Chains A and B, each alone.
Chain A
Amino acid sequence: MSKTFSIGGIHPIDRKFSKDRPIEDLPVPQRVYLPMNQHLGMPSVPIVKKGDRVKVGQPVAEAAGFVSAPVHASVSGTVADVALYPDFQGKRVLTVVIETEGDEWLEGIDRTSQLKQEITTVPEETFRKIKEMGIVGLGGAAFPTHVKLTPIEGMQPEYLILNGSECEPFLTSDYRLMLEHGQEILIGAELMRRVLGTDVNGIIGIEENKPLAISAMQKIAANYLQWKVVPLKKRYPQGGEKQLIDAVLGRKVASFALPISTGAIVQNVGTAFAVYEAVQKSKPLLSNVLTVTGSGPTIQKNYRFRIGTSMRDILYSAGALDPEGNLLPQFAKLVSGGPMMGKAVVNLQAPVVKSSSALLLLTEKETKRQEPGDCIRCAKCFQACPMHLQPYLLYQLALAGRTEELEKHRVFDCIECGCCLYTCPAHIPLLDQIRLAKNASLKNKRKK
């Protein structure tokens, strides 16, 4: 019996069309846009100004406080602008724009693909490098990695769980990374494990729909005493931090508690790869892997991109644009990220960022929402909720604006996985309203 988390969850169809496509390197873009809010926490502060010349890997912005991360130039050239630019959702964000000239790298960065297996850095040095190289969680939330690796008073880490579940449909970037760079991932994970403590155990959780990745990682993990691979039953949202801890260890994260309270820390496989590059190769977080896919047979790619490349450039390389630079007419929606938690894109000119995992092209038929009907109290949302909430009730309370009762029913526990809306036979926009109420409630809690 493979493991999985204990309550809720759904089984969307896999649709991992691009899983057999090797990772390709995208050409260096003409210009890059580096937004200052690529991570959770305080936005970074630019340290370059218009006209400055920068090399690849040179920091262009520094962290603003502890829960923040620096940003590095992903191309070499001249800073063209430091100003507010609309991001992919049309919101204005402080952005450093660099016009590319050549491809000149900062000295000391190892650009070769040669494997550097031997770990020579001490944990303090590893931690410093992770922090300075701007590593953030690449699983989606983009939480600065060094913050997660910082010990919290009274909470002893026992397990480091590497998240290779990639439970969202369509996405294959983590899968390709595990197949092609499994060794690097494990070295990166081992580096993080040593930061947490020598007696911490390492577990790699991978869903069963990726048998090749499971066997590949098992083979590599056999050389490491403290690491083992745990195959997981396919189920969404297995990649959620709390769900993964439940699935792998059977430990439940209490309502409104940090995952570390169960003694487990979750890191994404992409993050582990970035840590490997940062520590072993002194390479800041300059690039990441993303999937460009749609439900048609035409567009199925896995790309390594330079952070800050505009989505239009990537879509152009993938052949998803018509000659005028618009999305091909058969696609109605562009999503940055997976179909369950990703965000719809309105501005194609906007850049992909550190934690971008996919550009998803959806047809109108697949994605257009139907007219909502009346709730028939089928309780499917309630059964699908992995956090043991009552979405139908929260929705009603949110519409009525009853803050107190919303908090009584733990609206702040919602992880926005989308299972409720996915499963509702009446097509009621449950999560739309619950998300609003949750954000308001969290704001309220922080004020207190």
Chain B
Amino acid sequence: MNKLLVSPAPHLHSKETTKGIMRDVIIALMPSVLVSLYFAGVSAFLVLTVSVVGCVLLEHLIVKYMMKKKTTVHDLSAVVTGLILALNLPVSSPWWMVLIGCVVAIGVAKMTFGGLGHNLFNPALVARVFLLISFPVQMTNWAVTNGIFTPENPLIPGFLLGAQGQLPDALSGATPLGIIKEGLANGLTMDVLSQQHDFSYWQMLFGKINGSMGEASALAILIGFVYLLARKVIKPIIPLAIVVTVALFSGILHLIDPAHYADPLFHLLTGGVLLGAVFMATDYVTSPMSSLGMLIFGVGIGLVTMIIRIWGVYPEGVSFAILFMNAWVPLLNKIKPSPYKKEVNLG
């Protein structure tokens, strides 16, 4: 006789799993990964590999030997963290720096809080900011990414050489945001800067701009965004709130003084706004749960990003902004859904 199963209702479950969600995020990240592979080849591949393998291995070891529990790596969340961390690093990152990033992301930002679902801050971003502060030289020396098949980039990964400066043929360049930050500080105007440098929006959209691996192509990120929306993994509130805030903020300043403030499209397409808005600010664990909370969260990220970009020391502020707003999430989660109020009986 087969024993009957008994459980409280409901007796069906949607097919959704944590693993499935993580898999969707990984798929959504693929366009950006492919773009970075296309432009930086072996270097990008090695950074990605070390980051993903490092994160997964580290989580496995920590859960198994320090927390003495069943390993949790099969939920794929460590893979997501590894990918996002890699996409937040320059192509030329040396291997030891990537590994330190993994230790900070998984070891410090994720597992010390108790693992998946318990961390307060986005692990990949904590690692990025940690690296940015600890190794400013390596983290802001951007190899000019001219594609793998061009003579400028002879397939020698900066990765193996360690420091950026030893790359034979690659040129180091600053990101567009870095250029205008420095230029404006030196008294130049936007017109002069855009004449000196080639700030083509097409390039920004398709990926020939300097920056960390994932920032290269806005289009790739947008493809991922559409996928996540279609799969209903994320709600569009947070990314839209960030983008609209950044656009409004920079738009108003640009209207007031176009000579000293870049236009909104420039701010949206350069730097990590899109990458952050789509993949990092929407991280379930570190973002609010209610729609209103999400809106406040997104607007906050947009504001802090622009404040740092325009008046701060760093040229880019998305990571700081997201981390800053992460700290507000527990408070934003206090927003209670409202019950229906007593309605007047019209009869």
Contact = CB atoms under 8 A, between A and B. Distances in A.
Interface stretch (A29-37, A92-100, A223-231, A359-367): A359-367
Contacts, number: 158
B345 A333 contact: no
B2 A425 contact: no
B68 interface: no
Interface string B6-18: 1111111110111
Q: Which of A12, A334, A377, A390 has the most CB of B within 10 A?
A: A377
Interface stretch (B110-118, B189-197, B217-225, B303-311): B110-118
Given A327-B4, A339-B10, A255 B18 contact: no
Contacts of A445: none
B146 to A, nearest CB: 39
Interface string A364-401: 10111110011111111010000011101000000000
A346 interface: yes
A343 B9 contact: yes
Given A261-B345, A410-B339, A373 B75 contact: yes
Interface string B75-88: 10100000000000
Contacts of B339: 254-255, 388, 410, 413
Interface string A231-250: 00000000000000000000
Nearest to A364: B5
Interface stretch (B29-37, B178-186, B268-276, B284-292): B284-292
Contacts of B12: 12, 169, 339-340, 362, 366-367, 422
Contacts of B343: 251-254, 261-262
A333 B285 contact: no
Interface in B1-59: 1-2, 4-14, 16-18, 20-21
Contacts of A367: 5, 7, 11-12
B346 interface: yes
B342 A341 contact: no
A329 to B, nearest CB: 5
A254 B116 contact: no
Given A255-B339, A263-B347, A377 B10 contact: no
B17 A427 contact: yes
B166 interface: no
Given A156-B347, A376-B117, A253 B4 contact: no
A152 to B, nearest CB: 11
Nearest to A375: B117
B337 interface: yes
B341 A254 contact: yes
Given A253-B340, A369-B7, A388-B337, A12 B14 contact: yes
B289 A345 contact: no
Given A339-B12, A344-B11, A366-B12, A158 B346 contact: yes
Contacts of A155: 345
Contacts of B10: 339-341, 418, 421-422, 431
A78 B284 CA distance: 64
A122 interface: no
A423 B12 CA distance: 10
Contact of B11 (A335, A346, A373): A335
Contacts of B337: 382, 388-390
Main secondary structure of the interface of B (DSSP, over half): loop
A435 interface: yes
A335 B9 CA distance: 9
Interface residues of A, number: 70
A329 B3 CA distance: 9
Contacts of A377: 117, 284-285, 289
A429 to B, nearest CB: 8
Contacts of A169: 12
A332 B345 contact: no
B338 interface: yes
Interface in A177-200: none
A431 B11 CA distance: 12
A10 interface: yes
Nearest to B117: A374
Given A409-B336, A422-B13, A374 B7 contact: no
Contacts of A12: 12, 14
Contacts of A337: 9
Contacts of A10: 14
A1 interface: no
A134 to B, nearest CB: 26
A332 B345 CA distance: 48
A101 interface: no
Interface string A191-227: 0000000000000000000000000000000000000
Contacts of B11: 333, 335, 339-340, 342, 344, 360, 362, 366-367
Nearest to A368: B5
A156 B347 CA distance: 6
A422 B117 contact: no
B116 A376 contact: yes
A326 interface: yes
Given A254-B340, A427-B17, A344 B7 contact: yes
A340 B9 contact: yes
B21 A425 contact: yes
Nearest to A374: B117
Contacts of A422: 10, 12-14
A409 B333 CA distance: 13
A334 to B, nearest CB: 6
A376 B346 contact: no
Q: Which of B9, B14, B17 has the most CB of A within 10 A?
A: B9
Interface in A74-100: none
Interface in B298-347: 336-343, 345-347
Contact of B336 (A368, A390, A435): A390
Contacts of B77: 376
Interface string A341-354: 11111100000000
B283 to A, nearest CB: 9
Nearest to A417: B10
A410 B336 CA distance: 11
B120 to A, nearest CB: 11
Given A340-B9, A421-B13, A422-B12, A388 B338 contact: yes
A432 interface: yes
Contact of B289 (A379, A418, A427): A379
Interface string A123-142: 00000000000000000000
18 contacts: A10-B14, A169-B12, A253-B343, A262-B343, A327-B2, A333-B5, A360-B11, A373-B75, A375-B117, A376-B18, A376-B116, A380-B16, A413-B339, A422-B12, A422-B13, A425-B21, A427-B13, A431-B8
Instruction: List the 3 closest pairs (A to B, CB-CB), nearest first.
Output: A418-B10, A156-B347, A379-B289
Given A157-B347, A332-B5, A382-B289, 13 more contacts: A261-B343, A263-B346, A326-B2, A341-B9, A345-B4, A369-B7, A376-B116, A379-B284, A422-B10, A422-B13, A427-B13, A431-B9, A431-B10
